[in-house]
Amino acid sequence: MRVFPLYVHCGISGFESPAHEYREIGLSLDQLLIRNPNATFIGVASGNSMEKVGIFNKDILIVDRARKARHGSIIVANYNGEFICKIWDEENNCLLSASDNQSPIRLSEGDVFQLEGSVPISVRQHDEHLNLAALINGNV
């Protein structure tokens, strides 16, 4: 857990604003969430196959290409031309969903598989009408 200091000015005199005594350090979500900025991209989850690990439809995925994916890592991969988010079962060479309704995907030599990166962080979108693409392009 990271602790961010909050500087408090304690020498209040006169009739200053009650909020004057508090000064927060500027925080950046980039600095909090992204460890490898040059190797990180953001995606949006689609579907409900990862709900048991806390990734829901339309959640934002922070995908880090520099972070080594290991057995059991949540990853984003290009699987036969489709970007998917799954749990990597390195020992059995398959991709697992976090759902009882979906079977493991066994990787075979005929499959096109490209590991894009691991997902150390996902961010929940509480506003179902939020359009991330429009937000990124400045159209919101």
* Catalytically annotated residues: 49, 86
Contact 24, 38 (CB under 8 A): no
Q: In the structure encoding, which two tokens stand for residue 48, read together?
A: 């409900």
CB 23 within 8 A of CB 38: no
Identify whether the C-beta of residue 11 lies closer than 8 Å to the C-beta of residue 29.
no
Residue with tokens 């992204």: 34
Phi first, then psi, for residue 51 (nearest 5°) are -60, -35
Q: Give the separation between CA 19 and CA 17, rounded to whole angstroms.
A: 5
Which residues 6+ apart lie within 8 Å of 125 measured at CB?
58, 59, 60, 132
